[in-house]
Structure 1
Amino acid sequence: MVSGRRLAAAATAGLFALGVPVTPVSAAPAPRAEPAPLLGDSVRADEWHLQTLNVAEAWTYANGAGVTVAVIDSGVDADHPDLQGQVLPGLDLVDDKGDGDTDLVGHGTTVSAIIAGRNDDAAGVVGIAPKAKILPVRVLDQDNRYNDALIVAQGVRWAVDKGARVINLSLGGSGSSEALAAALDYAFAKDVVVVACTGNTSASSSTGVWYPAREPGVIAVGGMERDGNSLWSGSITGKETVVTAPATQLVGANTGGDYWKVQGTSFAAPMVSATAALIRSRWPEMPAGEVINRIIRTAKDKGVPGRDPVFGFGLVDPVGALTASVPPIFENPLDDSPSPGIARFGSAPVPGQAQSAPEGTTRELLPVAPEADPGTGAAPLAAPADSTRRGWWAAGALFLLSAVAAALTIRRFAAST
């Protein structure tokens, strides 16, 4: 399936999380009172993306109930007030004594609360899919990094086997990985939606969309400014970008029950993962391919008309994805490929070093490590020579409306742009 890949090495070096913590926010002392989903303390008020994405209306159709979202990241603080009761027993691939519910840097906790922060209160961060469950998989160390993509591949396979319907990958790097590509194929074959972010310019020496976001079949998410019309200046983007979501001036749940201001494509990706969870909550039997089809066809177009390498298909629209009349994949006019009905679109990656900053200051990510980690001598992986070859492999299975179709839609569009 992936034997045709030409790789320069078997391990990916210099990979890290791309979220950019900016300023710590004091934990709100307000009691967890009567439900007021979009109203409450100052933290809740700072969640501007909830209004931009019209989350309150989306909840009239679905809230994520019944859907498990795997967050493959730095772990999750399961005791954070916003995540109590939301986190399932997970896996720690960094510390063999852990279970994924420990987060030393806060990155995974922030991502998880954006997806599934509780909405049965009037304090703290509320998620876009507040009734979804988080399946934590820790692959990032205390520096918010991983040195070998094999650990991420192991996490993906484990999450699929544990019943994740959506996988969020707010991490990435410039190399490619045969092992991770195979794990993603496994996820696609098991009808799982996979989302990753495209990367941050402040954390990369490369301007290309990061891996695994650029892996065909993954929904690559770029970052938008607060105005809802401009690409965030720190977002990496490119032909693989599928959709965008808010990425700056965000408030996030931090470890220890605290909060902080964050920015980065790491935090745009979970908004799309949460949207996928809402769709799968409303239509539990909908194949992954159709979930992705809804996300891309209802995105609010930005920039030049139609899909473009800056915004992809546009700003994710949860309400549209839950309500619009969308032609199924096999009737999708976006496709002009030999295999009928396969939409064509692309994909993308992410991460950053989760560190707090003094009050009132702004702190960018520390410089990214070299392409080859001098500590291990590992060389960067070469990008696949032909981005269409796996698409053609999957074409033979398109008589099934499955995740394979979703993967191919992304691959073919990416290859054609």
Structure 2
Amino acid sequence: MRRAGLVAAASTLAVVASVLLPAATATPAVASCAATSGSPVIETASWGQQRMGAERAWPRTTGDVVVAVVDSGVSAASASLQGSVLPGTDLAGGTGDVDCYGRGTFVASLIAGRQVDGTEFAGVAPGATILPVRVTSDPDSLYLSNDLPGLLAQGITAAVQGGARVIAMPLTSAASSAELEQAVQAAVAADVLVVAAANAPTTDALAFPASIDGVLSVAPLDEEGGADPSQLGAVPDLAAPSGGLVGAVPDGAGHVTGDEADLAVAYAAGAAALVRAEQPSLTAAEVAERLMATADAPTAPLAEGMTSDPSIGHGVVDPVAAVSRLDPESVVVASGETPVLDMPAEPDERPSDLALLIGIGLLAVAAAVLGPVVGIVSVRRKSQ
């Protein structure tokens, strides 16, 4: 992988694994063309996976939508991605489900990696289906190429035509083109969310397609925090882990580590898949707004006139909050007025009291009138 030396490191691990850890790898489904084949299994989850905590969202959704990865292809032979990779397409011809470089598979595994015995590793949306779109087998050769904007445009178009609901784009170009902007606009019109890396491909360069309206721009994050804004080529909407990550290799059950700014798109795209599956009525724009509204917001005060942090945008993507937090419109907000309790009126006991008094009075009158009569009758009886 670019700048991180992922392929070189993985090759060394492969040699060690073949000697010391033969039982830690699975037999590839097809012959491998990637240098990472045979890498050992990494048992523990990376800090980035732990930070996302996506497993808490899985009782609600695992992200059962199609997510395209526009990069170096995605291997269908990776143990973590068994049964979840479509044939896809290669812009040079053929399918995109073989990955000789390794990064496309790495990104796809962060998005949709299934749980495998012997490791804690898993992607954010393990129910997602990956649509691989290979634009190149060697991303390093394309970063400053004049052909890159056109290839990215073709990749977006292929992803939309392939039925993707989310498109993850690790590759960044220093220049845009009319074709690329039209492809993004077509994706927006088709209600497809494009998620692109915000890091600059070279010093003082812009980042495309992240700088194009309608694209969700994602900045890198490591354990120390966000990137220096000078390293970004687009204003970030969100940030996501990108350094010190664990991801799957193209063949077998092994893993390698990655430390590229481009990898941030994976966790954001995975979170978008969770939201799209949980709330299918939301448009792509509404999904992006929800991801930003539920992000783990920056704690530092923003500069005057700023609405987001120049390093991490609206905050670090939070898959669980994005899926489970109530919609703002459905939350009842207190008005600040003192509530008045409407109590029933007390019964008027005066009529019954008056009746009692009248009754007593009548008895008294009766006693006064009848008393002498009773006495006379009694006397007469005695005198007879």
Establish whether residue 150 from structure 1 lines up as the match of residue 134 from structure 2: no
Partner SS state of residue 315, structure 1: coil
Q: Which amino acid aligns with 1:112?
A: A
Q: CA deviation at 1:233?
A: 6.0
Contact 1:222 1:235 (8 Å CA) reproduced: no
Aligned CA distance change for structure 1 residues 63 and 88 (closer, same or farther; 3 Å): same
Size of the alignment, in residue pairs?
A: 296
Q: CA deviation at 1:140?
A: 1.7
Corresponding position of 1:300: 296
Deviations 1:284-338 (A, max 9, x none): 222112111110001111243451211110100111111122337xxxxxxxxxx
Which of 278, 286, 304 is matched with 1:282 structurally?
A: 278
Q: Which amino acid aligns with 2:51?
A: T
- C-alpha separation between the residues in 2 aligned to 1:31 and 1:105? 19
After superposition, where does 1:112-127 map in structure 2 within 5 Å? 112-119=108-115, 121-123=117-119, 125-127=121-123
Partner SS state of residue 261, structure 1: strand
Aligned CA distance change for structure 1 residues 44 and 233 (closer, same or farther; 3 Å): farther
Partner SS state of residue 246, structure 2: strand
Q: CA deviation at 1:31?
A: 8.0
Aligned CA distance change for structure 1 residues 235 and 225 (closer, same or farther; 3 Å): farther
Q: CA deviation at 1:236?
A: 2.7
Q: Which consecutive unaligned segments of at least 5 residues does structure 1 have?
A: 1-16, 33-40, 329-417
Corresponding position of 2:328: 327
- C-alpha separation between the residues in 1 aligned to 2:41 and 2:229? 26
Aligned CA distance change for structure 1 residues 21 and 326 (closer, same or farther; 3 Å): farther
Establish whether residue 86 from structure 1 lines up as the match of residue 84 from structure 2: yes
TM-score in terms of structure 2 length: 0.71
Establish whether residue 20 from structure 1 lines up as the match of residue 15 from structure 2: no
Corresponding position of 2:128: 132
TM-score in terms of structure 1 length: 0.66
Deviations 1:142-193 (A, max 9, x none): 3544441222212211211221000011001211111011001000001011
Higher Rg: 2
Corresponding position of 1:59: 58
Corresponding position of 1:47: 46
Corresponding position of 1:108: 104
Q: Which amino acid aligns with 2:321?
A: G
Establish whether residue 215 from structure 1 lines up as the match of residue 177 from structure 2: no
Q: CA deviation at 1:58?
A: 1.8
- C-alpha separation between the residues in 2 aligned to 1:137 and 1:238? 24
Deviations 1:34-72 (A, max 9, x none): xxxxxxx9624142222111112121221112x000001
Corresponding position of 1:339: none
Contact 2:210 2:234 (8 Å CA) reproduced: no
Contact 1:198 1:235 (8 Å CA) reproduced: no
Contact 1:297 1:326 (8 Å CA) reproduced: no
Partner SS state of residue 256, structure 1: coil
Contact 1:244 1:315 (8 Å CA) reproduced: yes
Partner SS state of residue 231, structure 2: coil
- C-alpha separation between the residues in 1 aligned to 2:205 and 2:150? 22
Q: Which has the higher helix share?
A: 2
Q: Which amino acid aligns with 1:298?
A: T
Corresponding position of 1:68: 66
- C-alpha separation between the residues in 1 aligned to 2:3 and 2:282? 31
Q: CA deviation at 1:127?
A: 0.8
Q: Which amino acid aligns with 1:231?
A: G
Partner SS state of residue 328, structure 2: coil
- C-alpha separation between the residues in 2 aligned to 1:43 and 1:304? 38
Contact 1:245 1:272 (8 Å CA) reproduced: yes
Corresponding position of 1:188: 188
Aligned CA distance change for structure 1 residues 44 and 182 (closer, same or farther; 3 Å): farther
- C-alpha separation between the residues in 2 aligned to 1:195 and 1:18? 20
Corresponding position of 1:169: 169
Q: Which amino acid aligns with 2:73?
A: G
After superposition, where does 1:196-345 map in structure 2 within 5 Å? 196-199=196-199, 204=202, 206-227=203-224, 230-232=225-227, 236-237=231-232, 240-257=235-252, 258-302=254-298, 303-305=300-302, 307-327=308-328
- C-alpha separation between the residues in 1 aligned to 2:324 and 2:230? 29
By relative contact order (CA 8 Å, sep 6+), the higher-ranking structure is 1
Q: CA deviation at 1:120?
A: 5.2
Deviations 1:16-39 (A, max 9, x none): x8573443355674489xxxxxxx
Corresponding position of 1:77: 75
Q: Which amino acid aligns with 1:266?
A: D
Q: Which consecutive unaligned segments of at least 5 residues does structure 2 have?
A: 27-39, 330-384
Contact 1:239 1:312 (8 Å CA) reproduced: no
Deviates further, 83-92 or 116-125: 116-125
Q: CA deviation at 1:273?
A: 0.2
